[in-house]
Structure 1
Amino acid sequence: MRWSGTVFRALNPYWAYRPLSGEGAAQFGGRFNSVGQAALYTSLTVETALREAQQAGSFMPVTVVALAVEVEQVFDATNADALAGEALTRADLAQADWADEADRLGVARVQRIAERLAKGYNGLLVESFAPGAAGGNLNLVLWHWGEAAPNRVRVIDDQDRLRYPPQAPD
């Protein structure tokens, strides 16, 4: 499927000046990418982005950015037929112990699924599995993106607030 619209990221302030890098995900890994594979984790609402970023316990500082996205070949994991077509279930993607398994084995089952999907898709539309998330809380995880079609992602920053080095407002 093609996905087009605005998404949100709540990211570590360290990456605020590079909100499209995917380097943090590559460095530490995530549910849908193993260490070494860049990924851009985004959410369809600000609330979902904040919930995703706050899974480590107490509230952590974040920078929230909005992105304009136009991406071809997105796997729709919210569609039961699409899941069945890839021999997947919601439970496969919701793997609760993925981080422990990745620590133990180097790669979790759900990360292997993401690696397989990334060979044929540019991204994944998937429900949020963050604590407190409801069925309508959705994420768009991108494995392949850039500045040009067919996988265009652009930061919405009309006042250049994310410039580096940071500067006082005009």
Structure 2
Amino acid sequence: MPKTKFQNIIFTLLMAFVMVYAMVCYNIAWNVGGMQNRVFVIALEEIVIMWPVAFFLEFFVVEHLSQKLAFRLVTPGRDKPIFILLAISSMIVCLMCPIMSLIATILFQNPGSELIAVWLQTAAVNFPMALCWQIFFAGPLVRLIFRTIFRKQLQQDTHS
């Protein structure tokens, strides 16, 4: 959807924020035994660390790799755009979820000698939420926000 490097940076910043904030809230709620109002405030402390990490990983590593993996399943120009979007989004979650779960496990869960076990459990708990959140909520919301911000530039691109 982004057409320029600047648009890609903005899109990735938005997506990373929406995904990370939701996943941090989810993990905190999981750890405190359920959703509470204070979870939203506590999440703001963690997002300061996790948002830049997610942006860096997505922008410099995962974006390219997820497209390569997705294009093994779908072909741009031949398959419907929705299938391409779903394939790329799914591959991003498949790559980002274990990586971000590992980072969160190390930084926030004090796993000690149980690092691998705690990380695998965290990734397993996070994956269904991350995939559903990305496909049904974060992806559509961020694309709507992005289209709203770049409405004029995107219209110019389609009329050129």
Pair member with larger Rg: 2
Which has the larger share of strand? 1
TM-score (norm 1): 0.27
TM-score (norm 2): 0.28
Which has the larger share of helix? 2
Which of structures 1 and 2 has the larger relative contact order (alpha carbons within 8 angstroms, sep 6+)? 1
